[in-house]
Structure 1
Amino acid sequence: MNKTLLSMIIALILTGCAVGPDYKRPAIDSPGAWRFEEKEARDLANTAWWGQFGDPVLNELIQTALRENDDLRIATARVEEYVGRYWVGRSGLFPQIWADASAGRNRVSEEGMSPLLSSALKNPVDYYQAAFSGYWELDLWGKLRRANEAARADLLSTQEARQSVILSLVSSVANGYIALRDLDKQLEVTIRTVKIREEAYKLFKLRYEGGVISELELYQVKSEYEQALATIPQIEKQVASQENGLSVLIGRNPGPILRGKKMDDLVLPTVPAGLPSDLLTKRPDIRQAEQDLVAANARIGVARAQYFPTISLTGLFGWSSSDLSNLFTGPAKMWSWGGSLTAPIFMGGAIMGQEKAAEAIQQQALFNYQRTIRNAFREVEDALVNQMRTRGQLDAQKRQVDSLREYARIARLRYENGYTSYIEVLDAERSLFNAELQYVQTQGILFQALVNLYKTVGGGWVVEADKLTAAAAATDNKPVKTEIRQGN
């Protein structure tokens, strides 16, 4: 009889259906190619692209950030949290078993409302008890399986969120370092211009004192000198702010940042190749949005399963005796088992409301998934056109700087030979100074455009960066768990 009942229970569990919709990836209208595709693109999205800059200092800064950045540590701890939540949710699929032991002494009144019936009975009396008890909810309708599916998707979503932190962190450190070296070069150009204008001012001061030039020309030169001099503290302020921001990114207190190669010595990275459809698997934010959709889809099944009865089994096996020496003997044995069925009859629309809420959340997750994909397409297109057009802008500004250098040279020759006033020289040098600063800024923008392109494309380089966090994870109390893998 017992074997037959057990066989029926196991058969019900194995053949039980899981209510609710099964997840299917939504159809996505992906472009066949990028609008501004780079002809010389190479498949480098799975490599540590920051090494292409050829700057060991930048490599070290990124490695330090991956070991010590606070946001990454928070994201890693959050993954640990969801690993624990997954195991808590998964435990409901299995029987829950407890062990219990108790001992004590009781005495009943011999004169009260319920006096001791016989003086032959022991009073007080000792008692000893040891037992195992269990509970198992049979998941016939798939409520627990759907909840476990949702918990697994939540965990995978959290892991993808951590990958997004790594993606943003590496890109931010690279962009921050480039911005710092760009400011350094702007400061270098400004200091060189100040020295030139200071020499000119000293020379014109001597000429003024000798009565060669007018006071007007002297103050024109001095004005340009002071204007360049005022630019230095402005750039130095930006340098200090950039250093402080980079220091915090790499997990340190605000302070100076070690420099490596100069801006002109950095190597421009190659444009990574890839199709728009590749983003669905390359970008962690898209994978995260999809896992959020999987979890929301599974929770519809959890809500619908509440329409059906809940069937559970309980059992107890143990020993009870008034004499410790007889506790584990045959006569002291006790056991019981039973089952229960609980079905909703009237809930006032509560279950229907939970189902509608779950369906609405699933729709929100679906729209967010579609929006994330569209934004990803836009970001890559923007990054491609940015680096492409910035190259053309940089080339034009380089020609402009060369032209203005020649213009300034000729203007000075004309002035020294008495063909024009010094105003023409000042105009040429002012234009040259501004053009040089603009050229340096555009140079930094181009490097950052390539960094942002690798960021928007995503790919296996995030995994390569994640490997660099292993040293930090090994020193923590608990390394990041990776038992839960996303299925195909």
Structure 2
Amino acid sequence: MTSFTFSRRVAWPALVASGLWLAGCAQTPPYERPTMDIPAAYKEQAAAQAQGIWKPAQPQASTALPETWWTVYGDAVLDRLQQQAEAHSPTLAQSAARLRAAQAAVTSSGAAALPIVGANASSSRARSGTQLSSQGDGSSTARISTSHSLGLTASWELDLWGRISAGVSAAQASAQASADDLAAARLSLQAAVAQTYFSLRAAEAQAALLGETLKAYDRSWELTRNRQAAGVASSADVAQAEAQYKSTQVQLLEAQTTRSQLEHALAALLGQAPAAFALEPTAALPAPADVPRVLPSDLLQRRPDIAAAERRVAAANAQIGVARAAYFPTLTLSAAGGYRGAPLADLFSAPNLFWSLGPALAASIFDGGARSAAVETARANHAQVTAAYRQTVLTALQEVEDNLTAAAALAQEEQLQREATAAAQRALDVVENQYRAGTVGYLNVLAAQTTVLSSQRSLIDVKSRRLTAVNALLKNVAGRWEALPPA
């Protein structure tokens, strides 16, 4: 690093004029949003497919997110759980702390554009050298001096090449990305709480169904024992009834275990220890929200993860300017003034006054290619985050399409499963009457009962999967079905 200091004889008007001219030579490339088109409608919604219009993605600010999107389920318990998660989740606390750090970085980077003013004070007493006495007696003398100083210093680096402003822009974009990360973490947490809650209620419904089925199987087992005692049923029938009852008990224990584990997972999402959390069983699954026939793709622009990815591209673009500016010298204006003298009592007298004022120009002459490597690194990072942004948009499109397909298919599947369950129950009623009349064997009853239980459990599973798909779809479109308001 070579440094040149100008004296007061430098032509200040010329220096200022050149500085103003150089100040316009910012090294940051003009920022352009990454080109990434999204369709006006989704492939899986045939009603809107004919539009065939594509438009560039324009990510929206995280403040556009609805705060209580889960209220579409109309479940007061879920509302309460979401409030607890918002207040106590360690995941949100981490994201909020990262946002505060990013905001502090913005303040820190902006401070570099302002003058730095400092104060100093010192007092010293020193002994310098020894010399023989002139009287020739072999004695020596020493010089002792006292010095006091009090002053102010100031320095200001002129941002001729936009290095400081580019750093501020990068910090601001990073802080905005952190704000969007916080919104994304909140949305993910809310969706996870809702999904875990739905799975827990589904496990409860399975357990309740198995409990009621056990009662029916116990009556069948008792009926078979009575028929054996009357000589109209075999011991094999009794053994089959017992096996069916016992295997259903195993399934009930599995459902209860699943419910307990989901309750533990829900407690962790709420920031509580499992031992301190309990949820009253209801075995009631909320109804899934109705998916509109036409879902505007504009909703994708609300996703905070897309907005965060775009802000990281802006930050990387600004970092290219920071790296380029390192090729050019830095100009710093410095000033100092104060009092310096030996007697403390006369320190603030005119003879002890000192001051200095002048610019300093510093530039690196040889660095072994470090600056070139820094610029190339900044460009490569920009290319990386641009590709990451595009991948985020593509992944978001895939997620919406997947869950649109799943939600539509599962709605039809639920209706068909209801019809299958009703048919299985009718068949069981007929077979049980025939068994009591002695026209069929118990194996027919066993098969019919198994079919009914399997069908009923499948219906609960389809309801749960449909809730999962709709919940994921709401998360994919940042929590609401409505289109974006006009810009």
Q: What TM-score bracket applies, with the shorter chain setting the length? A: 0.7 to 0.9
CA distance in 2, matches of 1:126, 1:215: 115
CA distance in 2, matches of 1:45, 1:82: 21
Distance change (3 Å), C-alpha of 1:225 and 1:181: same
Judge conservation of contact 2:152–2:338 (CA < 8 Å) in 1.
yes
Identical counterparts, % of pairs: 28
Q: Which aligned pairs between 1:166-205 and structure 2 lie closer than 5 A? A: 166-205=186-225
**2:117 pairs with 1:97:** yes
**2:12 pairs with 1:5:** yes
- Give the secondary structure class of the aligned counterpart of 1:242: helix
Question: Which position in structure 2 is the counterpart of 1:452?
Answer: 472
Judge conservation of contact 1:16–1:139 (CA < 8 Å) in 2.
no
Q: Report the CA distance between 1:185 and its aligned residue.
A: 0.4
- Where does structure 2 lack aligned partners over 5 or more consecutive residues? 1-7, 49-63, 134-140, 482-486
Question: Which position in structure 2 is the counterpart of 1:147?
Answer: 167
Which of 37, 40, 57 matches 1:29? 37
Which of 363, 366, 369 matches 1:343? 363
- Give the secondary structure class of the aligned counterpart of 2:345: helix
Question: Which position in structure 2 is the counterpart of 1:473?
Answer: none
Question: Which position in structure 2 is the counterpart of 1:477?
Answer: none
Question: Which position in structure 2 is the counterpart of 1:441?
Answer: 461
Q: Which aligned pairs between 1:23-422 and structure 2 lie closer than 5 A? A: 23-37=31-45, 46=66, 48-111=68-131, 124-255=144-275, 256-259=277-280, 262-264=283-285, 266-271=286-291, 274-280=295-301, 282-422=302-442
- Give the secondary structure class of the aligned counterpart of 2:38: coil
Letter in 1 for 2:42: W
CA distance in 1, matches of 2:306, 2:432: 59
Distance change (3 Å), C-alpha of 1:404 and 1:45: farther
CA distance in 2, matches of 1:408, 1:365: 61
Letter in 2 for 1:417: A
CA distance in 2, matches of 1:240, 1:437: 19
Q: Report the CA distance between 1:136 and its aligned residue.
A: 1.9
Judge conservation of contact 1:16–1:141 (CA < 8 Å) in 2.
yes
CA distance in 1, matches of 2:109, 2:85: 34
Q: Report the CA distance between 1:83 and its aligned residue.
A: 1.6
Letter in 2 for 1:305: A
CA distance in 2, matches of 1:454, 1:326: 77
Letter in 1 for 2:280: R
Letter in 1 for 2:284: M
Distance change (3 Å), C-alpha of 1:325 and 1:3: farther
Dislocated runs of 4+, deviation >4 Å: 1-4
Judge conservation of contact 1:390–1:442 (CA < 8 Å) in 2.
yes
CA distance in 2, matches of 1:460, 1:230: 41
Judge conservation of contact 1:102–1:128 (CA < 8 Å) in 2.
yes
Higher relative strand content: 2
Q: Report the CA distance between 1:188 and its aligned residue.
A: 0.3
Q: Report the CA distance between 1:9 and its aligned residue.
A: 3.2
Judge conservation of contact 1:100–1:132 (CA < 8 Å) in 2.
yes
**2:436 pairs with 1:429:** no
CA distance in 1, matches of 2:465, 2:458: 10
CA distance in 2, matches of 1:270, 1:38: 17
CA distance in 1, matches of 2:46, 2:118: 64
Q: Report the CA distance between 1:422 and its aligned residue.
A: 1.5
1:131-176: CA deviation from partner (whole Å, max 9, x where unpaired): 1112222211111111111111111111111111101000000111
Letter in 2 for 1:22: P
Distance change (3 Å), C-alpha of 1:419 and 1:2: farther
Q: Report the CA distance between 1:242 and its aligned residue.
A: 0.3
CA distance in 1, matches of 2:17, 2:206: 75
Judge conservation of contact 1:52–1:267 (CA < 8 Å) in 2.
no
CA distance in 2, matches of 1:38, 1:45: 27
1:295-314: CA deviation from partner (whole Å, max 9, x where unpaired): 11111111111222222222
CA distance in 2, matches of 1:387, 1:45: 22
CA distance in 1, matches of 2:281, 2:26: 59
Letter in 2 for 1:16: G
Judge conservation of contact 1:55–1:260 (CA < 8 Å) in 2.
no
Judge conservation of contact 1:47–1:460 (CA < 8 Å) in 2.
no
Judge conservation of contact 1:55–1:261 (CA < 8 Å) in 2.
no
1:65-122: CA deviation from partner (whole Å, max 9, x where unpaired): 0010011101111111112222222211112121111123233344289xxxxxxx99
CA distance in 2, matches of 1:170, 1:442: 22
Letter in 1 for 2:300: L
Question: Which position in structure 2 is the counterpart of 1:18?
Answer: 26
Judge conservation of contact 1:45–1:454 (CA < 8 Å) in 2.
no
Distance change (3 Å), C-alpha of 1:368 and 1:3: same
The two structures, once aligned, show a CA RMSD in angstroms of 2.7
TM-score normalised by L of structure 2: 0.86
1:381-431: CA deviation from partner (whole Å, max 9, x where unpaired): 112111111100100100000000001001111222222211111111101
CA distance in 1, matches of 2:479, 2:461: 29
Q: Report the CA distance between 1:5 and its aligned residue.
A: 2.6
CA distance in 2, matches of 1:331, 1:214: 124
Letter in 2 for 1:58: L
Judge conservation of contact 2:225–2:238 (CA < 8 Å) in 1.
yes
Q: Report the CA distance between 1:10 and its aligned residue.
A: 7.8
- Give the secondary structure class of the aligned counterpart of 2:128: coil
- Give the secondary structure class of the aligned counterpart of 1:212: coil
1:415-448: CA deviation from partner (whole Å, max 9, x where unpaired): 2222221111111110110111111011111112
TM-score normalised by L of structure 1: 0.86
- Give the secondary structure class of the aligned counterpart of 2:274: coil
Distance change (3 Å), C-alpha of 1:99 and 1:176: same
CA distance in 1, matches of 2:66, 2:86: 17
- Give the secondary structure class of the aligned counterpart of 1:90: helix
1:1-42: CA deviation from partner (whole Å, max 9, x where unpaired): 8998379538725843211311111222211211233989xx
CA distance in 2, matches of 1:223, 1:337: 98
Judge conservation of contact 2:434–2:440 (CA < 8 Å) in 1.
yes
